[in-house]
């Protein structure tokens, strides 16, 4: 097991240094600081890590203008620093949970993810850079990594690695398909299409269609990167989830994203591991015990996600709008659920409406994220008179004012 940890650390470090050179210091310095917090102040290490490592990432974003680099198709160490930040914070928070909260008082996710023993330096270093996952992600949990390195849990099966060949090859093949699609379609409908004179002359449905096409082309490169990374995690055996499943570290379900019937389901299929991280370490911890989460928790979670990506207007535009996107989808889902037994035809109509609005609202909201800057984002939204924003807001207001009918109660048997 020590060999596995050492190999993971050395190969991960070489990959990072080859790609980013001295930029790796911005990954290791906050990681070492957090490790010191865990060693010296275990019951407060999560809070201390949040208070230092996350602001450090923000400063790195600001100093290196990461959004401009990514928009131009470039790559710098800030992307790896983003994934490292998620790993460092989750590790510290889970250790704080394990040393300061009784298991009986933990939430289900805390029970599953907490650790009570400080990882040794090699375990921690291998967790941070193992399998080259910092290059494009995804993040994963330290408890899972330690079990994998020690061949515990589902990894007790010695044949896991040999069984990984076919699912790993299939995943790798998927990544190549998405790469080819992106390279081909980007010549037909690049992101700059929304700046072309002909776009301004289009009617509303045609502009929305262009937005959908541009966003799909951009998503293809994410599908490629994430599936490529996932294939590496499957080949080494870490992607094994037990019972013949290999989706432990899956970060996207491309077909489910493109055919998503509700915005509320979108995080289950896109950037999955980051969505889970936001749920476990932001969203759930903003909800007071005994209370239900609401729009405020969703908004704050999305703002954390926006800042994590960088200090660019386009990110704030997208993630603040996505709060409306999710809330509007929940309203429609509640109405669909209320009518499912009362009137299936009405429920099916609501599902169809929700599906169409999901496509429109998602791609409309996402374009500023891809365009990054203030002016292009405002330009593309104003080109359709902010209609999707008004529609999402109207649905949210309707959901607050008019409650769906209660589902008819089952008849009591005589």
> How does 47-76 read in b/e, with b if 16+ C-beta sit within 10 Å?
ebbbeebbebbeebbeebbbbeebbeeeeb
Is 309 an annotated catalytic residue?
Answer: yes
Residue 50 · residue 86 · CB < 8 Å: no
Element counts in the chain: helices (H) and strands (E) = 20, 0
Tokens, residue 103? 């298991």
The owner of tokens 């398909």 is 177
| One-letter-per-residue 3-state SS of 89-135 | HHHHHHHHHHHHCCHHHCCHHHHHHCCCCCCCHHHHHHHHHHHHCCC
Tokens, residue 303? 């703002």
Q: What CA–CA distance (Å, rounded) separates 334 from 340?
A: 10
**Which among 348, 354, 351 has a CA at the least distance from the CA of 329?**
354
Residue 143 · residue 155 · CB < 8 Å: no
Helices (H), 189-271: 197-200, 204-235, 254-258
The owner of tokens 């570290």 is 249
CA Rg, the chain, in Å?
23
**Which among 395, 401, 370 has a CA at the least distance from the CA of 189?**
370
**Catalytic: which of 26, 61, 269, 309?**
309
Active site residues: 309
């Amino acid at each position: 097991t020590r060999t596995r940890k050492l190999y993971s650390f050395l190969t991960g470090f070489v990959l990072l240094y080859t790609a980013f050179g001295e930029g790796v210091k911005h990954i290791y310095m906050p990681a070492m600081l957090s490790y010191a917090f865990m060693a010296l102040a275990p019951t407060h290490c999560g809070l201390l890590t949040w208070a230092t490592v996350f602001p450090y990432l923000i400063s790195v974003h600001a100093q290196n203008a990461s959004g401009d680099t990514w928009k131009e198709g470039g790559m710098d160490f800030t992307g790896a620093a983003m994934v490292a930040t998620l790993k460092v914070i989750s590790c510290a928070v889970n250790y704080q949970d394990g040393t300061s909260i009784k298991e009986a008082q933990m939430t289900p996710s805390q029970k599953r993810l907490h650790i009570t023993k400080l990882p040794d330096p090699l375990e921690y270093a291998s967790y941070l850079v193992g399998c080259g996952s910092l290059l494009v992600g995804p993040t994963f949990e330290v408890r899972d990594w330690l079990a994998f390195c020690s061949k515990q849990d589902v990894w007790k099966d010695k044949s896991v690695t040999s069984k990984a060949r076919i699912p790993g090859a299939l995943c790798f093949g998927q990544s190549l398909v998405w790469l080819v699609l992106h390279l081909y379609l980007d010549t037909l409908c690049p992101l700059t299409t929304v700046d072309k004179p002909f776009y301004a002359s289009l009617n509303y449905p045609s502009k929305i269609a262009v937005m959908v096409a541009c966003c799909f082309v951009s998503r293809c490169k994410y599908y490629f990167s994430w599936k490529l990374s996932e294939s590496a995690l499957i080949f080494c055996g870490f992607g094994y989830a037990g019972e013949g499943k290999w989706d432990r570290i899956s970060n996207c379900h491309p077909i489910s994203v493109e055919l998503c019937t509700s915005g509320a389901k979108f995080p289950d299929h896109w950037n999955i591991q980051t969505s889970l991280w936001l749920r476990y370490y932001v969203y759930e911890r903003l909800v007071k015990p005994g209370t239900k989460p609401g729009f405020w928790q969703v908004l704050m979670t999305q703002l954390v996600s926006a800042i994590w990506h960088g200090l660019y207007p386009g990110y704030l535009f997208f993630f603040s709008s996505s709060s409306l996107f999710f809330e509007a989808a929940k309203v429609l889902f509640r109405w669909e659920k209320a009518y499912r037994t009362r009137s299936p035809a009405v429920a099916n109509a609501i599902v169809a409406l929700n599906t169409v609005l999901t496509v429109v609202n998602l791609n409309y909201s996402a374009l500023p994220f891809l365009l990054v800057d203030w002016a292009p984002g405002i330009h593309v939204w104003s080109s359709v008179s902010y209609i999707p924003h008004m529609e999402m807001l109207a649905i949210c207001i309707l959901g607050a004012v008019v409650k769906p009918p209660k589902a008819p109660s089952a008849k009591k048997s005589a």
